[in-house]
Chain A
Amino acid sequence: MNPRAASDMARLRVRRRLLQSAGALAVITCVPARAADSGLPALPALTAFLAGRTPRRERISLDLPRIADNGLSVPMRVSVSGPFAPGPFVRKLALFSEINPVPDMAVFEFPQPLERIEIDTRIRLAGTQQIVAIAEVTDGSLLAAAAEVIVTLGGCMDGT
């Protein structure tokens, strides 16, 4: 092996080690941030909807991409796992946005008992934020889920 190649190899090894430690650092710094957002964001619209009630963070899942290139249309799925029949069923499902100009994004109602609660839609996001989904069950209990989406281009821009 010529000396030039050997020095290149050494440089690559150093570079690799640097990259590895940078990766490890990124993982470490991410962990406390994930742990900290176990509570729901304090949004006036959400507080008004909850009206003092405390939702449980279970049985509901909110699927959103971690990163959305374009806030104008972000695919979303929210689902609540049963069983519902013959017991209490989901009556209402509400979506809240952390920073959109209209924080009450949508409310879905199920006037009749339904075993499968699953809604897909596409939402608009003004920027990087948390989305909260709350399901209201007929026995009065509330279920909650939250998801954070990093938005590269906000949906309030004139994108057309």
Chain B
Amino acid sequence: MPNARITVAERVPRGAPFEVRIQVRHAMETGYRTDDMGKSIPRNVIRTLTCRYNGDPVFVAHTSSGIAANPYLRFFVLARASGELTFEWVDDAGVRESDRVVVSVT
């Protein structure tokens, strides 16, 4: 079960930018917090989130602890052809996750 929720309109007009929304489930641990035992919790934030459209990168976000937990991003992508948007993100712990959504261009 992917840890993200992605929203794209059901149909998007060709040649125009369309809205993409993604929220990833991730604590974005800053490294400044301590657990119940007073031990510091190591930093673990998403470093990079890449969005590819039919394989070509169209949006890349390099994030830090300055982005809130469960990062939310809304951006635009130019509708070229029907296909899919794939998202891949990697955090400090090296955990790599991905998710995809189908885009139908009319």
- Taking Cβ atoms with an 8 Å cutoff, the residues of A that contact B are 72-74, 95, 97, 100-102, 104-125, 155-156, 158, 160
The answer to whether B60 and A117 have CB atoms under 8 Å apart is: no
Q: Check A158/B78 contact, CB under 8 A, given A72-B68, A106-B62, A111-B56.
A: no
The answer to whether B68 and A109 have CB atoms under 8 Å apart is: no
Q: Interface size bucket, B side?
A: 20 to 34
The answer to whether B68 and A122 have CB atoms under 8 Å apart is: yes
- Taking Cβ atoms with an 8 Å cutoff, the residues of B that contact A are 16-17, 28, 30, 32-34, 56-69, 71-78
CB distance from B7 to the nearest CB of A (A): 12
- A105 vs B63: C-alpha distance in the bound complex, in angstroms? 6
User: Across the interface, which residues of A come within 8 angstroms of B28, CB to CB?
Assistant: 124
Q: Which of A73, A97, A101, A111 contacts B32 (CB 8 A)?
A: A101
The answer to whether A158 and B33 have CB atoms under 8 Å apart is: yes
Q: Which of A102, A108, A119 contacts B66 (CB 8 A)?
A: A102
User: Across the interface, which residues of A come within 8 angstroms of B62, CB to CB?
Assistant: 106-109
- A109 vs B69: C-alpha distance in the bound complex, in angstroms? 21
